[in-house]
């Protein structure tokens, strides 16, 4: 009998070349597959909900795997699996049995990313590896207005990486929200799918607006231009988190 299991994964991305298995370094996918193979004592392949780039973190990455072994004790399974992941900055938070047709990537309805900026004069110590330190005071009101121009369906050619392999640059942003808590700015974007480096590029553009390097309306001009040359430099990967996948 064949079983299909979904796992929810948390990880820090600094040590990895990204989610997907690659020849040029250690990936999150490869590391989890090795741990699952040790835990279940059979070869396991994991299907991820989507790729995260080098250095990007996750609070709620979703994956699924097929196995001929029925997992009856979830606590024991997670304890053993996380034992093999201890040194890798990866934790598997949840396990759920799914129908065989469930697919972490194709079944996903929405993906939510969150970016964290620390906006203060002093360099962060605790959060230095999981946020973007911006020393200059940012105008949150202008950034919120600029973010609203990303909402809806647009051609995001100007905000995707030159190495992006997506067939279409058209994406629909259903949420673009900014909130500030103390000296942290949280930027949330939600869509069914994103282009490579799209979220970090959007954050980079918002930072330019917040620093008054750009006007708020510059965002509309960038989208219309469809040229990568008009985009601000992408925000660093370390401040980005794949927060949640909705099914």
- For 143: left if phi > 0, alpha if psi spans -120 to 50, otherwise beta; the answer is alpha
What sign results for the dihedral spanned by CA atoms 65, 54, 196, 164? negative
Is there a catalytic annotation at residue 53?
A: yes
Please report, to the nearest 10 degrees, the dihedral formed by the alpha carbons of residues 189, 190, 196, 198 taken in order. Answer: -30
What sign results for the dihedral spanned by CA atoms 121, 112, 19, 43? positive
For the chain, the residue count is: 247
- CA-based max dimension of the chain: 61
CA distance 59 to 176: 19
- Local structure of 144: helix, strand or coil: helix
Q: Which residues are catalytic?
A: 53
């Amino acid at each position: 009998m064949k079983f299909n299991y979904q796992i929810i994964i948390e990880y820090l991305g600094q040590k990895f070349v990204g989610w997907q298995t690659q020849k040029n370094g250690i990936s999150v996918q490869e590391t989890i597959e090795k741990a699952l193979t040790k835990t279940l004592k059979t070869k396991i392949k994991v299907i991820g909900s989507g790729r995260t780039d080098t250095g990007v973190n996750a609070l709620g990455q979703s994956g699924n795997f097929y196995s001929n072994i029925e997992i009856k004790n979830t606590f024991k399974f997670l304890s053993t699996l996380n034992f093999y992941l201890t040194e890798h900055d990866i934790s598997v938070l949840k396990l759920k049995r799914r129908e065989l047709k469930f697919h972490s990537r194709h079944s996903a309805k929405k993906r939510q990313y969150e970016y964290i900026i620390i906006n203060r004069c002093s360099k962060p110590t605790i959060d230095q590896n999981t946020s973007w330190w911006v020393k200059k005071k940012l105008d949150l009101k202008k950034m919120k207005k600029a973010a609203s121009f990303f909402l809806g369906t647009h051609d995001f050619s100007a905000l995707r990486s030159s190495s992006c392999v997506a067939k279409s640059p058209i994406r629909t942003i259903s949420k673009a929200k900014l909130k500030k808590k103390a000296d942290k700015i949280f930027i949330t974007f939600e869509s069914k799918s994103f282009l490579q480096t799209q979220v970090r590029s959007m954050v980079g553009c918002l930072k330019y607006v917040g620093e008054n390097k750009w006007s708020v309306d510059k965002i509309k001009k960038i989208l219309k231009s469809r040229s990568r040359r008009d985009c601000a430099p992408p925000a660093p990967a370390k401040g980005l988190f794949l927060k949640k996948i909705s099914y």
